[in-house]
Chains A and B, each alone.
Chain A
Amino acid sequence: MNQYILLTIELIALPIIAFIFWKSGKGRQQLIKQEKQTRQQAQDIISRAGQQATAAMINTENLTGQSINILTNHLKDSMTDLLKNIEAQFAKEKEESLQSLKELSRQQIEKFSQELIKATVEAKQAVDSQGKLQFNKIQKELDLYKKQKMEKVDAEIKTLVNKIAAEVLNKSISLKDHEKLILQSLEQAGKEGLFR
């Protein structure tokens, strides 16, 4: 008779345990932890039920169908309590896991955000540095271009002035003036020892 009772208990308890495993869907560690706790609780209940059944059998020599009903009801109540406890624990675990997940997500988002800010700052610095170099290069090229242009303009002005001066002076210098200038040049060259 005891064997039947134990078998019945096990037949009821095992699907429950399987259900718990199936329903939890949590991480392996949580499942193992839950499984241990559940198994312990189930064993406690089975042990208690066994003890009660044994006591009933000892106290009652004539085991009637009523006694079996009482035992079955008692087991049923115990199982209901167990289920309630497990569900409550599961809900608690679920809530804790969600909180933990939220916290983890928050930390990861914060970390990601910081890394993103850091990367953005570094990228900006790199762009700024590159921009500065580019700016300096363009500035140098611009200065050189300006210098070349100014030199060209200077040369053109000089040429123009020379041309105008030459034209004006050539027209205004008489032959006598030319002779005088040539003679001055000869004397100057002589003084400077060119013809020695």
Chain B
Amino acid sequence: MNQILHVARTSRERVEIMEKLADLSSSLFNLKTRLNKKIDSLLSLKQKNTLRELARQQNLSVTNRSNLAKLLNLLKEKLADLPEINITLAIEPTNEIIDLIYNFYIEKYHKEVIWNITVDSTIIGGAIFGYSGEFKDYSLKKRVLNHESI
């Protein structure tokens, strides 16, 4: 299950994929719908790969409606269970920056989290974290105010 949730690195991505999974789940009841076609139209390549990897791990088939229903539920549960870390950045993060943050955590702690990203340009640079009721400010603004060297 390692990194199969790479599709949901941030809160926004989690909401996005959850909506797609809900859409896919509802289409399972329409027997006229071709599941492969539906998956192709709804999910990105990365998301499809994630779903297939999960199916492989669970010995389930994405073309089988009941198997797919199980997979979707499993995936939704996994996504919902992921802990969230609040992070404030000075700029709107690029995909590279999100990867940088996501991978740093995975490599260091070997577990997945969802990053709830907020942008506040007044912090100038660096980041502010909020996790498990704790708050840490490593922003450039703080360093400037404390007359620390940058």
Contact = CB atoms under 8 A, between A and B. Distances in A.
Are A and B a genuine interacting pair, yes or no?
A: yes
A178 B134 contact: no
A182 B136 contact: no
Contacts of A175: 91, 94
B58 to A, nearest CB: 29
A11 interface: no
Given A189-B136, A189-B138, A195-B85, A181 B105 contact: no
Nearest to A158: B145
A178 B91 CA distance: 8
A175 B125 CA distance: 10
A182 B97 contact: yes
12 contacts: A166-B141, A170-B90, A170-B124, A173-B140, A181-B127, A185-B129, A186-B105, A186-B127, A187-B104, A189-B127, A194-B134, A195-B131
A162 B134 CA distance: 25
B122 A182 contact: no
B29 to A, nearest CB: 41
Interface residues of B, number: 29
Contacts of A184: 126, 138
A173 B100 contact: no
Given A165-B124, A166-B121, A170-B90, A183 B109 contact: no
Contacts of B51: none
A53 B127 CA distance: 145
Contacts, number: 76
Interface string B62-101: 0000000000000000000000010001110010110011
Main secondary structure of the interface of A (DSSP, over half): helix
A34 B5 CA distance: 136
Interface in A162-184: 162-163, 165-166, 169-170, 173, 175, 177-179, 181-184
A192 interface: yes
Interface of A: 162-163, 165-166, 169-170, 173, 175, 177-179, 181-190, 192, 194-195
B125 A181 contact: yes
Contacts of B127: 181-182, 185-186, 189
Interface in B96-150: 96-97, 100-101, 104-105, 108-109, 121-122, 124-127, 129, 131, 134, 136, 138-141, 144-145
A169 B109 contact: no
B90 A194 contact: no
A165 B100 contact: no
B125 A183 contact: no
A100 B105 CA distance: 115
B112 to A, nearest CB: 12
Given A165-B144, A169-B124, A190-B108, 7 more contacts: A162-B141, A166-B122, A169-B125, A175-B94, A177-B125, A188-B136, A189-B138
Given A178-B91, A188-B138, A194 B131 contact: yes
B114 to A, nearest CB: 13
A178 B97 contact: yes
Contacts of A189: 127, 129, 136, 138
Given A173-B124, A189-B129, A181 B140 contact: yes
Chain B CB within 10 Å — which of A166, A183, A188 has the most? Answer: A166
